[in-house]
Homo-oligomer: A and B are copies of this chain.
Amino acid sequence: MSEQSYRERLHGRAIEITRRIVEAEGLEAVQARRIAREADCAVGSLYNVFGDIDGLILAMNGETLAALGLALGEASAACEQLPLEARLRTLALGYARFAVDNPRLWQAVFHHRRPAGSAVPADYLALQARLLALIEAAIADRIADGEARTRAARALFGAVHGIVALAIDERLGGAVAPELEQQVSFLVALIARGLNVGGAAS
């Protein structure tokens, strides 16, 4: 096997093993030695491919974001012609359901603490931008100014994310699945109403 294809295979296999560990036991259980053992390679080979254990977790989280982006992108395309509230609700409930269906993978994206000063890879940032672009597209005809629209998309993402995060993490006001969907739908209805009344809010 060429070195290139060995690296590629180890890349895929290590992410798969890490994902299995996270799904079963959570992010805390991820350890380089354990993954190297299960992948039948040396810890050094793992670091060779991913830089360090944070690089491996970022690679796994990137795949989670890609899957989320794909699911929401399809949902968004399917409701392009619907009124604003229905479009926003589709995105918001799609996000909530992804988190409910993949709680530990979703938590890994938001609980993972990068070492201080380490940069986020460009392709990871691109995946984040793609999620925000879906919201921007949904509100494009309500908020004409680009900067205001970006801020609005971030605020709306944060708002839905917060309800979902409290539910998944079982925190203050955190809700189980049906209650979670009711809270998200309630918020989206208010926001859509506010956007419809306000027109070009900034």
Please report A residues at the B interface, Cβ cutoff 8 Å: 28, 110-111, 113, 128, 131-132, 151-167, 169, 171-173, 175, 179, 182-184, 186-187, 189-195, 197-198, 201-202
Contacts and interface: CB of A to CB of B under 8 A. Distances in A.
Given A161-B162, A175-B154, A193 B183 contact: no
Contact of A158 (B173, B192, B197): B173
A171 B79 CA distance: 28
Main secondary structure of the interface of A (DSSP, over half): helix
A156 B187 contact: yes
Given A162-B163, A194-B193, A186 B110 contact: no
Contacts of A110: 169, 171
A128 B172 contact: yes
A195 B194 CA distance: 8
Contacts of A192: 194
A186 B132 contact: no
B182 A159 contact: no
B183 A190 contact: no
A157 B182 CA distance: 14
A181 B157 CA distance: 15
Contacts of A166: 154, 157-158, 161
- Which of A28, A153, A163 is the most central at the interface, judged by chain B CB atoms within 10 Å of its CB? A163
A193 B173 CA distance: 23
Given A162-B158, A191-B191, A193-B197, A186 B131 contact: no
- Which of A161, A171, A190 is the most central at the interface, judged by chain B CB atoms within 10 Å of its CB? A190
Given A158-B162, A163-B155, A198 B193 contact: yes
Contacts of A191: 187, 190-191, 194
Shortest Cβ-Cβ A-B pairs, 10 listed: A162-B162, A190-B194, A158-B163, A154-B173, A159-B159, A193-B194, A155-B183, A194-B194, A161-B162, A158-B162
